[in-house]
Copies of this chain bind each other. A is one copy, B any other.
């Protein structure tokens, strides 16, 4: 299997990308990682490691899209590493790609180059949110601003297919994010989405509330990209705020400081359990190819797991299963005369 990695995207690129790619290449010698970016910069980052693994190759792309660039940068710098990754995936030169840079430019490029799987109306970004029993997968967290009921239904179908293909979880429980569980709660979007979902073969729970993401056994939550993005970032904010408050209070006294030293291994396990870096990134579901959008703050651990996640999608046959799911029935009228 061959995976393309945008070596220039992310806050700590190319170093974090190169480091993560080397760790992945060493751990999975049967797979090849193609580092896409400015060859000189990538080589410089690689020299720190001595001899690079044989299953790590460089694909030169002279242009770089920065984290803060607007969509216009795609026109101004047409030979970017983002575009090169997408082209290679489109041409079949790689089986999947991982992009940790500018989200808007990555998502737009992927959609333009790879197009959507026939029958898919909108691509959706999927994110895992950590809870005591594992993760709840939320789609869309920002590929789109608004969503229609038929889009949210497809987000649910695609996420279920992803969980089955890449995570081995069958028949996941699906909820529609709303402001209440009762039928009279919600808005037109949630009601219409639920009505359509109940006509599918999915395991539909109903409308769910924000806290249910973290406190129930629901696997899949669908919402529009504006709301999903706010949920994702609010969650990050609560965790960061709470961690800061805990640290302040533990370091306030001598005994609690001592206790803090003793509980340190427990807190490291907590961090491990809620750490997005160990899960991977956000698959962009619905485009005709495996793409993982990694976090801009990805370090080598995150890059390693994003590559692993991409490989899981390829091995699990995510794209063939999505193609089969959304294949339109042959037009009955057109064939009825035969």
Q: Which residues of A contact B (CB under 8 A)?
A: 70-71, 130-132, 142, 145-146, 177-180, 182, 184, 186-187, 209-215, 223, 225-227, 229-242, 244-246, 248-250, 252-253, 255-256, 258-267, 269-270, 273-274
Cβ of B230 and Cβ of A246 under 8 Å apart? no
List of 8 A-B pairs having minimum Cβ-Cβ separation, nearest first:
A259-B262, A210-B233, A211-B237, A210-B234, A214-B237, A214-B241, A259-B263, A179-B229
Interface CB pairs A-B, < 8 A, 8: A209-B233, A211-B237, A214-B237, A214-B240, A215-B237, A215-B240, A238-B238, A252-B269
Q: Does B242 lie within 8 Å of A242, measured CB to CB? A: yes
Q: Nearest B residue to A142 by beta-carbon distance?
A: B179
CA A253 – CA B244 in complex, angstroms? 24
| Central interface residue in A213, A233, A255, A267, by most chain B CB within 10 Å | A233
Known: A259-B263, A266-B252, A267-B249. A229 touches B210 (CB 8 A): yes
Interface of A is mostly: helix
How many copies of this protein are present in the complex? 2
Residue of B nearest to A265 (CB): B256
Chain B's nearest CB lies how many Å from the CB of A260? Answer: 6
Chain B residues with CB under 8 A of A234: 210-211, 213-214, 231, 234-235, 238
A231 to B236 Cα, complex, angstroms:
12
CA distance A251 to B130 in the complex (A): 20
Q: Is the CB of A250 within 8 A of B266?
A: yes
- Identity of the chain B residue whose Cβ is nearest the Cβ of A189 in the assembled complex: B226
Chain B min CB distance to A134 (Å): 11
CA distance A260 to B265 in the complex (A): 11
Cα A291 to Cα B267 in complex, Å, equals 41
- Distance, CA A227 to CA B229, complexed state (A): 11
CB distance from A256 to the nearest CB of B (A): 4
Assess the A262–B255 pair: CB atoms within 8 A.
Answer: yes
- Enumerate chain B residues within 8 angstroms of A233, measured Cβ to Cβ: 209-211
Closest-CB distance, A152 to chain B (whole angstroms): 14
Most interface-central of A233, A237, A238, A242 (chain B CB within 10 A): A238
For residue A186, which residues in chain B have a CB less than 8 angstroms away from its CB? Answer: 145
Roughly how many angstroms separate A59 CA and B322 CA in the complex, as a whole number? 63
Q: When the two chains form their complex, are residues A210 and B232 in contact, meaning their CB atoms are under 8 A apart?
A: yes
Residues of B within 8 A of A274 (CB): 242, 245
CB distance from A221 to the nearest CB of B (A): 10
Q: Most chain-B Cβ atoms within 10 A of its Cβ — which of A211, A223, A264?
A: A211
- Do A266 and B259 have beta carbons less than 8 Å apart? yes
Determine whether the beta carbon of B262 is less than 8 Å from that of A246. Answer: no
Q: Report the bound CA distance from A214 to B184 in whole Å.
A: 31
Q: Compute how far the CA of A247 lies from the CA of B241 in the bound complex, rounded to whole angstroms.
A: 18
A215-B240, A250-B266 known, 4 other contacts, Cβ within 8 Å: A234-B235, A235-B238, A252-B269, A256-B263
Instruction: Give the CA-CA distance A87 to B7 in the complex, in Å.
Output: 66
Which residues of B sit under 8 angstroms from A230, Cβ to Cβ? 177-179, 209-210, 223, 227, 230-231
